[in-house]
Amino acid sequence: MTHQAARPQKSPIADCPAPAKIAEDRHILRVAVTTLGCKVNQCESAWIAEAVTAGGMTVVPFEEEADCYIVNTCTVTQRSDYQSRQLIRRAVRKNPAASIFVTGCYAQRAPADIARIPGVRIIAGNAEKESIPRLIRQMAGTEGPRLLVGNIGKEKRFPRLGATVFPEHTRAFLKIQDGCNAFCSYCIVPSTRGRSRSLPRAEVEERLATLAGDGYREVVLTGIHLGAYGRDLTPSETLSAVLRGCADGRTVERLRLSSIEPREVTDELIALVGSSEVLCRHLHIPLQSGDDGILAAMHRNYDAAFFRDLVLHLQAAIPGLAVGIDVMAGFPGETETAFANTLHLVEAMPVAYLHVFPFSRRPGTPAAGMPGQVPEEEKKRRTQILRHLADEKRRAFATRFIGEPLTVLIEARTDKTTGYPLGFSDNYVTVAVRGGAKANQIVRVMPDSYRIGRLVAEVVPD
């Protein structure tokens, strides 16, 4: 049980649909919510769960029988489509009489495919996600499927799905940006999330203060294209300006960025992260490929030399900084030489961890029809090589801090091997902490060993 679970459930931010008006009778519905995909989806699912609770319904685990199941889907890969369909069918089997709501990016991209799954009542696009708590009452027990999927490309409003409760998390997530204007050749996200839209700065600061007041000691700022924050606002804003204001105001003890594009890591941002006691020493920067030809085919706006120099500059400017990267294996036209270029670049860079993905053909993207499609078995082989390298990089980065003090936010989970509480350092190293640390404490620790993907450390007395 986390510290959040003990707090009273509250209504979401005032400009969201009023959940207190959802319940039109005294019957209490059991609602189960499950989520695939990114932190943005997780934020939005947290708001849905909070809103239906405030409306007089009970949120139950997805594995239990419920009157309504909400599946918040992802479509970034073929596997995520498959997993989404699996979850929908699992809900139908659990309770064939339940109302099944499907939303998220797969629902936005392929609503007709989902409509063919027996038992689905509502398919809601990303712009219609806010209406789900109200629709639960209206649609309970009715036949489906009903499609509520608009043209996300024309959406100009920032979706007001601001959760204040994150069950089973000691960190909160605050979505401040949605949509993407980049149109990388492999990516379906602009078609499912629409154009870039931003939460006004005043609302960012207000929601951050609310989360801090609710006891969250770390907040992760999330978005689909976070570095584009504020360009659509009038007057325009920048991510660095918002970060500076939040850090200077010390609204929250720790502030972390979810991901940022290479060209958007500015000198101002580097100086902020390097000097602030609030901003975490952690940047996740997508690489995708270390081959210049593949990067050009992907429509990425940098080359391998730029990325390498950026990582080296960051490490020199911010001691102890964790740089995480995304790497894709098997993009169309990726020869053995091109893959070797990626492998050699990653080997040479002092990165903390890798997220590795095999290329997945997404209907409607330029890459889906490109020549030189890499066979699935070869993509798997290259992915395995990169994931082995990822394990080595994670170990090498973490062990640098043996014998050096770190500050760790303790989570509400324990290490299965040692039984010690687990937490994350400000530079995103997983640490098993002995010495009586409790969930939602930020403690100073001294690491003394590395074991199965994490440091083991002792609490340093004050």
Reduced 3-state DSSP string for the chain: CCCHHHCCCCCCCCCCCCHHHCCCCCCCCEEEEEECCCHHHHHHHHHHHHHHHHCCCEEECCCCCCCEEEEEECCCCHHHHHHHHHHHHHHHHHCCCCEEEEEEHHHHHCHHHHHCCCCEEEEECCCCHHHHHHHHHHHCCCCCCEEECCCHHHCCCCCCCCCCCCCCCCEEEEECEECCCCCCCCCCHHHHHCCCEECCHHHHHHHHHHHHHCCCCEEEEECCCHHHCCCCCCCCCCHHHHHHHHHHHCCCCEEEECCCCHHHCCHHHHHHHHHCCCECCEEECCCECCCHHHHHHHCCCCCHHHHHHHHHHHHHHCCCCEEEEEEEECCCCCCHHHHHHHHHHHHHCCCCEEEEEECCCCCCCHHHHCCCCCCHHHHHHHHHHHHHHHHHHHHHHHHCCCCCCEEEEEEEEECCCCCCEEEEECCCCEEEEECCCCCCCEEEEEEEEEECCEEEEEECCC
Sequence-distant (6+) residues with CB within 8 A of 76 are 37, 38, 105, 187, 188, 189, 360, 362
Contacts of 14 (CB under 8 A, 6+ apart): none
CATH topology of domain 406-459: OB fold (Dihydrolipoamide Acetyltransferase, E2P) (2.40.50)
- Name the nearest CA neighbour of 120 among 140, 146, 149: 146
Q: Which residue has the tokens 């010690």?
A: 420
| CA 460 – CA 441 distance, rounded (Å) | 13
* Backbone angles phi and psi of 432, in degrees to 5: -90, 125
Nearest alpha-carbon partner for 368 in 289, 297, 290, 293: 297
Give the CATH architecture of domain 171-399. Alpha-Beta Horseshoe (3.80)
Work out the number of other CB atoms within 10 angstroms of the CB of residue 1.
9
* CATH T-level assignment (fold) for domain 4-154: Rossmann fold (3.40.50)
Mean pLDDT by 10 residues, the chain (462 residues): 30 33 53 94 92 92 94 96 97 93 96 95 94 80 81 90 78 95 95 96 94 94 96 96 92 95 97 96 98 98 98 97 98 98 98 97 96 98 98 97 97 91 97 93 96 94 79
Integer Cα distance of 57 and 133 in angstroms: 10
Q: Which amino acid is at 284?
A: H
Q: What is the pLDDT of residue 222?
A: 95
How far from 84 is each of 26, 88, 367, CA to CA, in Å? 32, 6, 23
Please calculate the CA angle 238-243-247 and round it to the nearest 5 degrees. Answer: 155
Residue 461's pLDDT is what? Answer: 85
Task: Provide the pLDDT for residue 20.
Answer: 36
Do residues 154 and 127 make contact, with C-beta atoms less than 8 angstroms apart?
no
Pairing relationship of beta strands 177-178 and 197-198 according to DSSP bridges: antiparallel
Q: What are phi and psi of 203, to 5 degrees?
A: -75, -35
Cα–Cα nearest to 251, from 207, 212, 279: 212
| Cβ neighbours around 65 below 10 Å, total | 13
Burial class (CB in 10 A: 0-12, 13-18, 19+), 8: exposed
Q: Are 428 and 382 in contact (CB under 8 A)?
A: no
Amino acid at 298: M
Residue type (1 letter), 92:
V
Predicted pLDDT at 10: 33
Would you list the domain boundaries of the chain?
Answer: 4-154, 171-399, 406-459
Number of Cβ atoms within 10 Å of the Cβ of 215: 13
Say how far apart CA 280 and CA 250 lie, in whole Å.
13
> How many residues can be counted in the chain?
462
Residue 356 phi/psi, 5-degree rounding, is -110, 135
Q: Helix 132-139 vs helix 39-54: angle between axes, to the nearest 10 degrees?
A: 50
